[in-house]
Amino acid sequence: MKLRVLFLLTLFPLCAVSAPLPISDQGPALRIQGSNTIGAALGPALVKGLMEHQGLQGVHSEPAEGANEQRVVGQTRQGKRVTIEVAAHGSSTGFAALKKAHADLAASSRPIKDSELVDLEPLGDLKSPGAEHVIAIDGLAIILNPRNPLHTLNTEQLAQIFNGEVSTWEALGGIGGAIHLYARDDQSGTYDTFKELVLNRRAKPLAASAKRFESSEALSDAVSQDPQGIGFIGLPYVRQAKAVAIVDGDSQPMLPLTSLIATEDYPLSRRLFFYLPPSTRNPWAKALVDFTQSNKGQAIVAANGFIAQQVQAIAVEPRDSMPEEYQAIARDAQRLTVNFRFEEGSASLDNKARQDLQRVVAYLQNHAKLDKQVTLVGFGDAKNDPQRAALLSKLRAMAVRRELVKSGVVLRDIRGFGAQMPVAANTADEGRIKNRRVEVWVY
């Protein structure tokens, strides 16, 4: 029995935190800094969940000294006050705060940059599995005024629009005259993500005419009130605006739908992170990371409008544009809402994929699908030799199979479709990484 318990704890370190955490006599129990996308609502909600799980009473938020800063406060049964501080000024400020020892945990709506990784090396390897934690999936929605008749834009058009090269709606086949640009501020991970996925890929800077916002809500409301407006925003902040479908390269037009964002197929999908420095000794920081990955934590993620990482099976409608063999799979099986992806330039699964392995195994166990009920489908980026692309896509699926076999999963089949059905353009590293993926189908 002890061995089995140890196995389950190893396989599912996502169980909710239960051991009482120490209460500091001085200062906050935990300091979180970084992304506004996380810190505005999701971060405080996760903190409240952890504090309530710890048995604290009267848990509530209070404004802190600065804008976009708050304290989450609770009391022990003995009446002792416990405070956690959340400052939301942009992803880059979280890493800066870690360096200055002004924060215990960084919240980021983009991966840590190489320069930040080197800068924070004294704190340990922040790209290690114990440091980099994907807490949710978000989609950058491109929003218009609800009265704007356009429904689809491609990433090339987006770059031209936000660079100012395309300055009227008529140039896009629409109506309305001059285009008014709305963008997040320079400290924002949302802006960093848009820059990486859209502007930098085409070496275009953001037009100086863009109105900049620190608040996601304020930006969205401004676009929804401006018939000539266009902006980019995190998925929970679409509010009264209209989201358009996005095309990247040869991909199909995709709206920011839950299923497409969960698999990260949507061209402007992104991961939200907590970064926990290996040197951090604050038990509240580790407890919050563990709580966030638990079922309770992921339920809070979903309740706040982001995409939880809980695995579900979805039906996929076969389309003529799909390979016939893929259509056959879609007719007979359901696709799980997870894609396995790989570290850049490597056949090794990335940190999210390692977490997702546990979730997929748990799903297969709970639904009695461990024995020949699973087909893995691999894809890759375009190569000069299509046969090489097909082989590499199958090898990636085999890499996932090796990991699943360790947990007792017997596969039904493995397929490789090479560079077919791209979900992103192959003209940049980000797109090639998204196309190098393995889907999981269950019968």
Report pLDDT for 439.
97
- The DSSP line for 241-266 is SEE-EEE-TTPPPB---HHHHHTT-S
CATH of 2-135+271-303, one of 3.40.190.10, 3.40.50.300, 3.30.365.10, 3.40.50.1460: 3.40.190.10
Residue-wise pLDDT tens digits, 110-150: 999 999 999 999 999 999 999 999 999 998 999 999 999 99
Confidence of residue 18 (pLDDT cuts 50, 70, 90): low
Contact 333, 346 (CB under 8 A): no
Q: What is the pLDDT of residues 267-277, one digit of tens each?
A: 999 899 999 99
The domain defined by 311-442 folds into: 60s Ribosomal Protein L30; Chain: A; (3.30.1330)
Average pLDDT, the chain: 91
pLDDT digits (tens, 9 = 90+) for 43-86: 999 999 999 999 999 999 999 989 999 999 999 999 999 999 99
Tell me the pLDDT band of 345, cut-offs 50, 70 and 90.
low
pLDDT value of position 12:
43
pLDDT of residue 428: 61
pLDDT score, position 301: 97
Mean predicted confidence (pLDDT) in 15-22: 69
For residue 15, what pLDDT is reported? Answer: 47
Map out the domains of the chain as residue ranges: 2-135+271-303, 139-261, 311-442
Q: What ranges in 31-113 are assigned the alpha helix state H?
A: 36-37, 43-53, 91-99
Residue 413, CA distances (Å) to 55, 336, 356 in order: 47, 15, 20
Cα-Cα-Cα-Cα torsion 346, 359, 310, 106, nearest 10 degrees, comes to -60
pTM, two decimals, is 0.82
Torsion of the alpha carbons at 427, 346, 397 and 274, rounded to the nearest 10:
-90
In the predicted structure, residue 187 carries a pLDDT above the cut 70: yes
Q: How far apart are CA 423 and CA 220, in angstroms?
A: 27
3-state secondary structure of 115: helix
- Among the CATH numbers 3.30.420.40, 3.30.1950.10, 1.10.10.60, 3.40.190.10, which is that of 139-261? 3.40.190.10
What residue has token string 């709305």? 182
Confirm whether 2-135+271-303 and 139-261 share one CATH topology. Answer: yes
Structure confidence at residue 278 (pLDDT): 97
Q: How far is CA 390 from the centre of its chain?
A: 28
In 3D space, the residue among 278, 282, 313, 312 whose CA is nearest the CA of residue 298 turns out to be 312
Of 20-29, 170-179, 307-316, 423-432, which range is least confident? 423-432
Model confidence at 92: pLDDT above 80? yes
* 89, two tokens: 């000024």
352, two tokens: 């999210």
Contact 239, 195 (CB under 8 A): no
